[in-house]
Structure 1
Amino acid sequence: MSPPPVAHVRRARDLIDRCYAEPLDLEAMAVAAGYSRFHFARAFRTAYGEPPGAYLTRRRIERAQDLLRSANLTVTEICHLVGFTSLGTFSRRFSELVGRSPTAYRRDHETPSVVPGCVLMRWSAIAEKRRAADEP
């Protein structure tokens, strides 16, 4: 017996949650679900109430909020760590979803104990090497 349709869509959501910082397009998400792009987009929206691209962007912004509160990194570094390639797009989407710019958010939420940026950058490089080694 095949898994219910929501299980297929959940596999794609899990992929987004796990690999949000990597370049993910609709095709890669649909492949994870075992659907065509268009069927997947409809099924994802039905299951989660938003399109897969909006979910991916929201996950990236949520992670950026965590980093802005706790990491000693520039906004540009955070932008790239969470999967955006354009600082302008990142800042615009952040402002749309959060209601203020990344810099203003940091100013209002920064905690005194921050993770050194060099630690996060090194962790990111190690994670990238592991992903590359796992690819066939």
Structure 2
Amino acid sequence: MFAIRRVRDHLDRHYAESITLANLTDLSGISIFHLIRTFRAAYGDTPISYLSRRRIERAQDLLRYANLTVTEVCVAVGFSSLGSFSSRFAALVGESPAAYQRRYSGAAQHIPGCHLFMNGVIPQSGRSVTGATAPSVGE
């Protein structure tokens, strides 16, 4: 179970990076099929679905509070395709990223995107920034 926790923690910390099942099996030291089966039993989802959900949760934060375009948010959370991001976002949230962002556009002060990139809150070019953690909802 420790290996599965390590995989989940890795997904939570490195959500913006390109992550494959091969990376996760190397990290955990268990076979791909056992990893998927055990991860689903522990967390109710496959590792890649969990990663996708985590990216969308982070995108929701950025769309609400950061002064970034939908495309910038898409790239910042680790999606390489705006279409994939938009369809996954709509499936999980129930509306498009643009509609979600418009709904919150006047609700809160927005943090300038350049500030988020310069201070390492958002990794640049999909690379993680050592020691930087993004604030989550409720912090």
TM-score interval for Structure 1 and Structure 2 normalised by the shorter chain: 0.7 to 0.9
Matched, 1:112 2:108: yes
Q: 1:120 Cα shift?
A: 1.8
Query: In structure 2, do the counterparts of structure 1 residues 129 and 17 end up closer, same or farther at CA, with 3 Å as the change threshold?
Result: closer
Query: In structure 2, do the counterparts of structure 1 residues 129 and 55 end up closer, same or farther at CA, with 3 Å as the change threshold?
Result: closer
Residues in 2 aligned to 1:16 and 1:42: alpha-carbon distance in whole angstroms: 17
Matched, 1:89 2:92: no
Determine which structure has greater relative contact order: mean sequence separation of CA pairs < 8 Å that are 6+ residues apart, divided by chain length: 2
Larger Rg: 1
Query: In structure 2, do the counterparts of structure 1 residues 46 and 86 end up closer, same or farther at CA, with 3 Å as the change threshold?
Result: same
Tell me the residue number matched to 1:66: 61
Tell me the residue number matched to 1:47: 42
Runs of 4+ in 1 over 3 A off after TM superposition: 125-131
Contact 2:17 2:128 in 1 (8 A): no
Within 5 Å, give how 1:6-17 maps onto structure 2: 6-17=1-12
Task: Mark the runs of 5 or more structure 1 residues left unpaired by the alignment.
Answer: 1-5, 132-136
Query: In structure 2, do the counterparts of structure 1 residues 94 and 127 end up closer, same or farther at CA, with 3 Å as the change threshold?
Result: closer
Query: In structure 2, do the counterparts of structure 1 residues 126 and 96 end up closer, same or farther at CA, with 3 Å as the change threshold?
Result: closer
Q: More helix per residue: 1 or 2?
A: 1
Tell me the residue number matched to 2:27: 32
Task: Mark the runs of 5 or more structure 2 residues left unpaired by the alignment.
Answer: 131-139
Over aligned residues, Cα RMSD in angstroms? 1.8
Q: TM-score, normalised by structure 1?
A: 0.86
Query: In structure 2, do the counterparts of structure 1 residues 95 and 35 end up closer, same or farther at CA, with 3 Å as the change threshold?
Result: same
Identical-pair percentage: 52
Q: 1:98 Cα shift?
A: 0.3
Task: Please tell me the residue identity of whatever aligns with 1:115.
Answer: I
User: Does 16-25 or 45-54 show the bigger shift?
Assistant: 45-54
Tell me the residue number matched to 2:117: 121
